[in-house]
Chain A
Amino acid sequence: MNRRDFLKVAGSGALIATASSTVEARGNKEPLPNAVGMLYDSTLCIGCRACVYKCKEVNDMPSVVRDNEVQWDQAEELSGDTLNIIKAYKHGTGETKNSATDGFAFIKRNCMHCVDAGCVSVCPVSAMIKDPETGIVSHNPDACIGCRYCVAACPYNVPKYEYDEAFGQIQKCQLCNQKGVERISKGQNPGCVEVCPTGANIFGTREELLAEAKRRLAMTPGEEYSFPLERVGSTYTHRAKAAAYHPHIFGESEGGGTQVMVIAGMEHTKLGLPDLPERSYASMSETVQHSIYGGMLAPAGLLAGLLYFARRNTKHDDEGEGEA
């Protein structure tokens, strides 16, 4: 075989790959019409960590033990034992709430339930599942092989593997709707929402939550408003003076959008949330993968060429065996 033939084989594979790419390229997934989630308002959060405690209770997770004492609210980072956490931001003297300079603020971290979830896209065995109705991202340990690609691919470092157990599993917030808990399906609220005393963390559909977030961003700082407890539109409310919001809803568009969204008195990066492009990493990854493997056309074409040359050249090899 000469070089030209060889280039033909290589070229045909590449050609099919490029041709199929235009067909298969995909953009971000659209939010589901009934997607549910949470809105966390950092300015209303008083850092009581009732949500951290309640989360552990609902999800049957052990508390942190330090100095031989059970410290129910002392988890410092999300882990295989902690699916929800309140962290603090502090700067300078730390006197003024919601102020980036010489101030402090709280941030709640848990699964963001991405609209176009990376963990769901990368899992080889479909053990990360996005519910087709609610959009809640849940996990199936019976399918999981423990490769931890979901951990590596989550922009928020949410899924956690239990490294200290012989038969560890992946743990993550499933919005209290996993098998055996199913609070959302039963019409209840997630545990962390139920116990929040100030309405800093509320449940609702993604659409409702976005509208509520926009209402808050439009408030006049210093004036008193009603903030619903537990759910958007709830009759139970908390009266408070509106803070000076940073005019951005984290999760409206970040990484293709999330179903858990955050508003705060300062930039989200100060609170440890990443800066993400609008295009989801999942869509980038899948576009490349399907450009190459769409319909398996390119591999099939390449294999056909390889078979042809391998057969021809091994035949030649047999005949010439005496001379080599």
Chain B
Amino acid sequence: MSHHQPIGGRLFTAPFLFLGILAVIALVLLVDRFANGLAAVTNLNDGYPWGIWVVYDIVVGTGFACGGYVLALTVYIANKGKYHPLVRPALLASLFGYSLGGLGAVIDMGRYWNFYQMFNPAQMNLNSVMLEVGLCVSAYSLVLFIEFLPVILEKFRADVWRARLEKVLFIFIAIGVLLPTMHQSSLGSLLIAMGHKVDPLWQAQQLMPLLAIMTAMLMGFCIVIFEGSMAAVGLRQPSETHLHRGLIKVIVGLVAAYLVIRFGDLIRRGALGGAFEGDLQGNMFLLETALFVVPLLILGSSRFNRQGRFLLIAAVSLLLAGATYRFNAFLVGFDPGAGYVYFPSAAELMVSIGIVAIEIMGYLFFVKLFPVMPKHQQAHA
């Protein structure tokens, strides 16, 4: 009856244990962070309050975790049922991306023991973009868990509960599309209040939420292709290139629209000159732009877009494009003035790397033991 099955195989492989070591290093460093303060591990300073824990773990990390969001939108809202086999693995990756993004937020929070104040109506500030992001990301992590729950219930053959859940699941699917639409756009809005501290190449003011939601969708579609390809190569799953090809059309449209809006805005504000000043900001902007434009050329060419290899290259480039855009807007283009500089410390990087390791370990655990991956009846087909 199920269309999914665990892929089985040994869990504790050499790569898995290597990831485990990375995770343990991160946990040890976190002991230092909680015992001695953020400065013990990070290079955060009085000019740069947000480093890679915020920008990578949350801003970029949840962008990478938008696969579940865009597939829910595609399959359940736009009713493209043929993409259904891609949903569960994408939901799983999103679940880990978001819950560990939330963990990253708590680690970075300077007064984490007061976190509950965000849920205290007497303290909520409805003008704050951060409140919207905080509440929405927390709620969505919960929704992702509920959306993924059928997999766990199926594994333990709790069919009665599963049937009950399936009846109301559409509510969570709808909320699961609404919430990322809200907080992914708000991630962009966070920068509006920072005004001149954000370089004109990225300070798009009222367009920030639009650019953020577009990059979220783009990263979501591309991570689905990336994860599918990784599963095909690393876990010997059948290739899903035929399904990915359909997503490419949406991706091409998204990138084209994004570039029109992005450059239209830069030209309107007269900010494009900053790209050619030869400084770090300008060069990073050029890199970011290249990462958007090159895949568009690949995907637009009939010579390349038939080959799975080039689809993967394009998807990876666009993932990096979205990530670079967000990194640039939040860190490279952020200049508080007064001579402050920031570059992450090795320990700070190791914590972020450890979090990614935990994500991959969790993903492997579930796809090997739980019915996540689509069942392919005829492997010879």
Contacts and interface: CB of A to CB of B under 8 A. Distances in A.
A6 B193 contact: no
A155 to B, nearest CB: 6
B76 A163 contact: no
A142 interface: yes
Interface residues of A, number: 77
Contact of B189 (A157, A274, A285, A317): A285
Interface string A313-324: 111111011001
B132 A121 contact: no
A166 B35 contact: yes
A17 B131 CA distance: 19
Interface in A264-289: 272, 274-277, 281-282, 284-289
Which of B76, B185, B193 counts the most A-chain CB atoms under 10 A from its CB? B193
A306 B178 contact: yes
Nearest to B131: A124
Nearest to B109: A146
In this complex, the interface size class of chain B, counting residues with CB under 8 Å from chain A, is: 35 or more
B9 interface: no
Contact of B111 (A145, A149, A272, A277): A145
Contacts of A152: 49-50, 194, 197, 334
A281 B208 CA distance: 14
B173 interface: yes
Contacts of B186: 289
B123 to A, nearest CB: 4
A297 interface: no
Interface stretch (B163-171, B239-247, B256-264): B163-171
B79 A309 contact: yes
B125 A125 contact: yes
A293 B132 contact: yes
Contact of A125 (B42, B118, B195, B337): B118
- For the residues of B in contact with A, the DSSP-based class is helix
B81 A6 contact: no
Interface in B335-355: 336-338, 340
Nearest to B50: A152
Interface in A103-157: 118, 121-127, 141-149, 151-153, 155, 157
A141 B111 contact: yes
B81 A317 contact: yes
A181 interface: no
A173 to B, nearest CB: 14
A141 B110 CA distance: 11
B259 to A, nearest CB: 20
A77 B50 CA distance: 19
A27 interface: no
Contacts of A282: 127, 193
Interface of A: 1, 3, 6, 9, 77-80, 118, 121-127, 141-149, 151-153, 155, 157, 160-170, 255, 272, 274-277, 281-282, 284-293, 299, 302-303, 306-307, 309-318, 320-321, 324
What 3 pairs across the A-B complex have the smallest Cβ distances?
A: A146-B110, A146-B111, A148-B49
Given A143-B117, A285-B127, A290-B127, 17 more contacts: A121-B193, A145-B110, A145-B118, A147-B110, A149-B128, A161-B38, A161-B46, A163-B37, A163-B39, A276-B196, A284-B195, A289-B129, A291-B206, A299-B178, A310-B77, A313-B81, A324-B3
